[in-house]
Amino acid sequence: MVKVVVNLALMYSIVVSLFIGLFPTSRVQPDEATVSIQWLGHSAFKITTSDGKTVLIDPWITGNPKCPINLSDITETDIILVTHDHFDHVGDVVELANITGATVVCQPETAQRLISEKNLSKAQVIYETGMNTGGSVEIENVTITMTQAFHSSETGNPTGYIIRTKDGATIYHAGDTGIFQSMKLLGEIYDIDVALLPIGSVFTMDPIQAAHSLRLMKPKIAIPMHYGTFPVLVQTTDEFVTEAHRHAPDVKIVTLNTGETYEYKEIVTPTSKAP
């Protein structure tokens, strides 16, 4: 009798699993968000999504003492983000836009200067005019949101970016900024996976502010940037790592060497990411 019950249970489970197999859409399918983040020194990063789309942020290649590659090494990219109009962030944007045909995202006044002074093709600027803080745009399945930053800029206002991939990875590049309370709000709205944060002091957050910013935005991972490039900046991540462990022990700190790539992987369910 026990054997019959066991066999019935086995048959039942086989039938159920066959049924689920026939109708897979009736189940909530977890997905894996993967994204590659390569540090090109200073604030420059190359982000590659799982479907092979590339985003360059503040690509200062020529003259960047910490950049491990040459301009000729970059032959294709889909999107270029500019956080603000300072030489160490605008860098090679126009040259790279010309080589790759990428869409350039920046503030309207910065777009205007690059078009009129550097001959950037207007057609390659997002909406042909640029965009502003708070706005979002989807390019090549990547959603880009421009955020505020507290710094200065030759044209327009300084910014940061929230970058969301199709499969659910969320990256925040803070640009050049001091700490601000609304970082908490950014964390609440976007559920940040990886935060790219300046820690070098003098022009941006110092290691203590950067550590406290983690307490506000609560990312899963933080990658420090904008240090060690110039003699005046903080030269190592040591103090940041110590302070981060003290003030935000749940955040994993990933210190990259220039040129190194961090592969981010996360299991996400369709309902676990908002908005």
Which residue stretch of 8-16, 81-89, 99-107, 119-127 sits at the interface with Zn ion (rule: CB under 5 A)? 81-89
Closest distance of CB 176 from Zn ion, Å: 4
CA 127, CA 248: separation in Å to the nearest integer?
39
**Closer by beta carbon to Zn ion, 78 or else 85:** 85
Taking the least distance from each CB to Zn ion, the nearer of 23 and 87 is 87
86-115 residues in contact with Zn ion (CB under 5 A) are 86
For 108-142, give the DSSP string: HHHHHHHHHHH---GGGBGGGT---TT-EEEETTE
DSSP string computed for 24-91: GGGS---EEEEEEEEE-STT-EEEEETTS-EEEES---TT-TT--S-GGG----SEEE---SSHHHHT
- Least separation, in Å, of the C-beta of 87 and Zn ion? 9
Nearest to Zn ion of 176, 191 (CB atom): 176
Single out the segment in contact with Zn ion by CB under 5 A; choices: 67-75, 83-91, 123-131, 142-150: 83-91
Q: How many residues bind Zn ion (CB under 5 A)?
A: 2
Q: What is the dihedral of CA 195, 165, 43, 40, to 10 degrees?
A: 120
Question: Closest separation between CB of residue 120 and Zn ion, Å?
Answer: 19
* Residue number with CB closer to Zn ion (152 or 269): 152
Q: Which residues pair with 265 in a beta bridge?
A: 34
Residues facing residue 39 across a β-bridge: 45
Contact 225, 196 (CB under 8 A): yes
* Interactions with Zn ion, residue window 155-214 (CB under 5 A): 176
Tell me whether residue 230 or residue 262 sits nearer to Zn ion (CB atom). Answer: 230
Minimum Å gap between C-beta 227 and Zn ion is: 14
Task: In angstroms, give the least distance from the CB of 65 to Zn ion.
Answer: 16
In angstroms, what is the minimal distance from the CB of 77 to Zn ion? 22
Closer Cβ to Zn ion, 90 or 208, answer by number: 90
Q: CB of 105 within 8 A of CB of 81?
A: yes
Residues that bind Zn ion (CB under 5 A): 86, 176
